[in-house]
Amino acid sequence: MAITVERLDDGEVSPYLTEDVRVGDQLEMRGPVGGYFVWETADGGPLLLVAGGSGIVPLRAILRQREHTGSDVPVRLLYSARTLPELIYRDELDRHHDGVEVTYALTREQPAGWTGYARRVDRALLAETAWPAGKNPLAFVCGPTSFVETVAGGLVELGYEPGRVKTERFGGTGGR
């Protein structure tokens, strides 16, 4: 099992998990809980995954599930973060070649030679990068609340069926 923790200065749990926990410490776990933001192989695709910041975490789990089950459902992943160091799992994501197209957008600062997008995700960028609605895609959107609202609204405006746009909001962390 693996978990990903983003440290928030004023968080209740994340400073403990990122600074105080030592190798060998025992933790009591409960879960997994929640059956809504979940993709099963039988749900099919094509899949559109859109992540803002640490919203990549459950989407990476979907990619792993796809790989684990040998699914060949085509995937487009659009992943937005403020800066390059804030793109997590980049090595792992770049290793996907089997029907997984990954597009990055850095909103605040881009390194020299950056070939990804240098802008926020909005309807225009979705129109450019997401599956056309005619392919009846299944979308998973995870990120800060305002990001999720923009993306989910944009996808529906582009013709995505609202029932096939699943969302998970994690509040205002990250200050985007």
Partner 1 sequence: MDELDGNGAAGLLQEVFGTEMTVAAATCASCGAVALIGESGLYAGGPGTVIRCRSCDGVLVVITQVRGMHCVDLMGIRAIDMPLGNITSSGA
Interface residues with partner 1 (CB under 8 A) are: 30-31, 33-37, 145, 166-172
Task: Select from 53, 30, 32, 17 the least CA-distant residue to 171.
Answer: 53
Q: Which is nearer to partner 1, 82 or 169 (CB)?
A: 169
Q: Which is nearer to partner 1, 117 or 170 (CB)?
A: 170
| 52 vs 130: CA distance, rounded Å | 15
Min. distance of Cβ 141 from partner 1 in angstroms?
A: 11
Min. distance of Cβ 28 from partner 1 in angstroms?
A: 11
Q: Which is nearer to partner 1, 24 or 171 (CB)?
A: 171
Min. distance of Cβ 122 from partner 1 in angstroms?
A: 20
Min. distance of Cβ 116 from partner 1 in angstroms?
A: 28
Min. distance of Cβ 75 from partner 1 in angstroms?
A: 21
Place of tokens 């975490």: 57
Rounded (5°) CA angle 5-9-10: 105
Place of tokens 């160091």: 85
Q: Which is nearer to partner 1, 13 or 118 (CB)?
A: 13
Q: Which is nearer to partner 1, 37 or 89 (CB)?
A: 37
138: CB partners within 8 A, 6+ apart: 39, 43, 44, 45, 46, 47, 48, 164, 166
Task: Select from 62, 116, 48, 53 the least CA-distant residue to 88.
Answer: 53
Q: Pairing state of beta strands 100-106 and 138-143?
A: unpaired
